[in-house]
Amino acid sequence: MPAATSHAHLRDLLRSSRQVHAAPSAGQAHVRLRQGLYVQGSSWSDLTARDRLIMRAYAVDRHSAESHVFSHHTSAALWGLPIIGRWPTLVERVAPAGVKGRSPDVRRRRTERPPRSVEVGGVRVTPVVRTVIDLAREVTLESALASIDHALRHGLCDRRELEQELNKVPRGARGRLMAARAVHLADPLSESPGESLSRARMYQLNLPRPRTQVRLYDEDGEAARVDFWWEHLGLAGEFDGFVKYQVPEGATAEEAAAVLWKEKRREDRIRRTDGRRVGRWVWDEVLPLERFRQIMTRLGVHDRGGDPWQVG
């Protein structure tokens, strides 16, 4: 996934945007963020969907005299949390339950539990732990895991805080069971959204639970650290993302070949011990559940019944 544009750059872009009280004249190609606030179309087209959402949040915050606490996807975008799926275009902000009214381009997230807020990138947002639990109550399992795994891996929250936040959600409340499942399955060793997605699919298919980020050795020492390891099968699983092999941007064909040759030698070392095998998959093979099932079946990973993931 592309690196996020810095908050400082986005705020500078907003400060330099045109402030007018009517639409710019034809041919000037501006994008309207709020009434009287436009940004150059060329600058807008260079932004990711995540950064466009942040820009809209800055515009909402700048345009209104109200104090805002941004939540859900908007908070996740500002925290730099990954999701799996599309970023929304509506800015999400917290509102007390029962408060009425509408704002253009804003989705009010009414709650009985007004959260405390923290400042990120110059605006107020829900804390990371509240953000990921809010999302986990309504997004897909794979997206919830991508966000929570990232938060745990980077020390933005810990499992105890997740469980405390989850316990604040009343039993029987909408989405609580989904959030509890995501918290149970979360893994701070997961190093990418693709690995989180893979683990979600393994759970959904009730496949044997692998160990994650396992170091394998041969007679010469450490051979590799693999994403997934099934000891009883002698099988290593690897999610191949866009940056898996760390080929530098702008690398020549020779440089790229050298990186791939190094990876081949790594895989050969994994296989050097009798019985070890390596399975690989990419985004397009893990996103469709049935396609991933077929890949796992070919590798000999099957649903053996029971509850290998021990999710209550």
pLDDT (average), residues 198-206: 98
Residue 1 has what DSSP assignment? -
Residue 199 identity? R
pLDDT score, position 193 = 95
pTM: 0.85
Structural domain contains residue 92: yes
Give 239-247 contacts, CB < 8 A, sequence gap 24+. Answer: 239/192, 239/194, 239/195, 239/197, 239/198, 239/280, 239/281, 239/282, 239/286, 240/280, 240/281, 240/282, 241/192, 241/194, 241/282, 241/283, 242/1
Structural domain contains residue 125: yes
Highest mean pLDDT among 53-62, 204-213, 269-278 belongs to 204-213
Tally of CB atoms within 10 A around 95: 20
Closest CA to 228 of 197, 204, 182, 259: 197
Q: Where are the alpha helices (DSSP H) in the chain?
A: 7-15, 41-45, 49-63, 72-79, 128-136, 141-153, 159-167, 176-185, 193-204, 253-272, 283-286, 289-298
- State how far the Cα of 185 lies from the Cα of 191, in Å rounded to an integer: 15
Structural domain contains residue 279: yes
- State how far the Cα of 185 lies from the Cα of 199, in Å rounded to an integer: 8
- The domain of 164 spans 7-188
pLDDT (average), residues 35-59: 86
Structural domain contains residue 311: no
Domain end residue (candidates: 188, 209, 240)? 188
For residue 2, pLDDT beyond 50? no
Structural domain contains residue 164: yes
pLDDT (average), residues 65-74: 89
- State how far the Cα of 97 lies from the Cα of 211, in Å rounded to an integer: 43
Crossing angle for the helix pair 176-185 and 128-136, nearest 10 degrees?
120
Q: Considering the chain, what percentage of its residues have pLDDT values greater than 70? A: 79
Which position has the token pair 């996740």?
76
The string of pLDDT tens digits covering residues 134-186 is 999 999 999 999 999 999 999 999 999 999 999 999 999 999 999 999 999 99
Which position has the token pair 């999710």?
311
Structural domain contains residue 88: yes
> Domain count of the chain?
2
For residue 300, pLDDT beyond 90? yes
Q: Is 224 helix (H, G, I), strand (E, B) or coil?
A: strand
The string of pLDDT tens digits covering residues 235-275 is 999 998 544 545 455 556 565 445 544 555 555 556 656 56
